[in-house]
Structure 1
Amino acid sequence: MKWLLTLLLGAALGVVGTVLWLGRDVPPTVPQETAVTPAPLPAPLPAGPTAAVPAPAPAAGAAVPAGGAGGAAGVPISSKDLPEVQPPAPVDPATTSFDIDVKPAIGPLLLPVAGVSPRELSDTFSQPRGTERQHLALDIPAPKGTPVLAVADGKITKLFTSKPGGLTVYQFDPSEKYAYYYAHLDSYAPELKEGSTIRRGQMIGYVGVTGNSDPNAPHLHFAIFELGADKKWWEGTPVNPYPYLAAVAR
């Protein structure tokens, strides 16, 4: 009988423990939501005028929409209706000015003093003479009596004696566009006369000290000038002889 009571008491205690366990305060399980980060909105466009984008030009023969180039809506356009593009006008070298340095077409010149090398020349063209003028010529030192030679073919235009130049020769080139001037001569070559035709290298006189020249420094004063339309033998536009004589092959 005692054991039966013990069994019943144990069963009762088990029922009470079960009830207490089932009645405990347990918080309900709530599913958590996944956090979603929203995508950033695009930046607003800056305020201001909107540039117009030109529509592409229609192909030849295609219909042109209303308001488009070529006329009324739906009217086809062909290549003959397009404006004709004119090619640029050709350039005429005779009437067009170009900003370039062009030397006169004088041609190769012979060094006019016998026995002098081009390496011995000095460019005295721009040297001052006093305070009011430049030399505008080339001085070629040589002993008195050294033969003076014609620098090119041409014609003896004038044999002239002047206070500054002494005994001088004026020679025109065959085209009569340029004049060659030889000064301070000691004497002329025999039988040299005005109007005679001479050849390149022909002797026309001798180095001297006549005119406005230092008697202790004989030399040939040689000049080139471009003639004007009136062909005055005593004047023209000076041209520097140095580039045409310094490169002469001897």
Structure 2
Amino acid sequence: MGEQPDYFVKSAEKTLAVLLAFNAAHKSLTVTEVAGAIGVSRAAARRFLLTLVDLGYLEVEGSAYRQTPRVLDIGASYLAGLTLPQVARPHLQALANRLSETTSLCVLDDQDILYVERISNPRLHSMTVSIGNRLPAWATSMGRVLVAELPEAAREEFLNNAKLQHYTAKTVSSIDELRAELDTVREQGWSLVAQELDEGLRGLAVPVYRGAQLLGALNVSVQPGRIGSASITDEMLPLMRQAAIDIADDFGGRTAEQN
């Protein structure tokens, strides 16, 4: 590579390189990992990281750093004409048509999930929700995916504030049981909730990432008696994960393979 022009600011290049080092495969990075990724000393990497923490673009927990939603501001002007529901809708529609089930996109808002887009299947079921509706995050597959992906401190804060309620005979019964379920969801990358919020209804959810940022959760609501739990994950998970990637890519995201 030739010499850089006189105006070139090397620190600006390195700052952007730090932000781009984070992606779906590397959501948390240590000082050493960042130093190796951008080719600087640990001391220099630490200065870049702490500066970005002070500016609100990164957060630190122990020795690990993560991006915050503020990084989305960098591309805000380019994406100003796009909204996540608009981008997600054709993908949710295609998935609903493929599976003949209801599909949704939700975000986490404090202790609730908020529906931002939903494509209903003609089959009727006892639970009717619309865009803008809220449900308790701890009792839904979407909520568990979103809470499981939170940093540990934020996840514990959520659990400390959660108010469990007995909806059905299968509703999770304790915070310890819920914490164990969240650990499983975080490890496997998806959540299946069966008849905990509504009798007979099962929900399968996967996270939707834009780069290293969690945009929301994609959900398929499965009617009772259609297929067993094992068949749900075998049939639906690959299609849902691809739809989540497609939504993120259309919204300006980059898959882990591209980083």
Normalised TM-score (structure 2): 0.23
Greater per-residue helix proportion: 2
Normalised TM-score (structure 1): 0.23
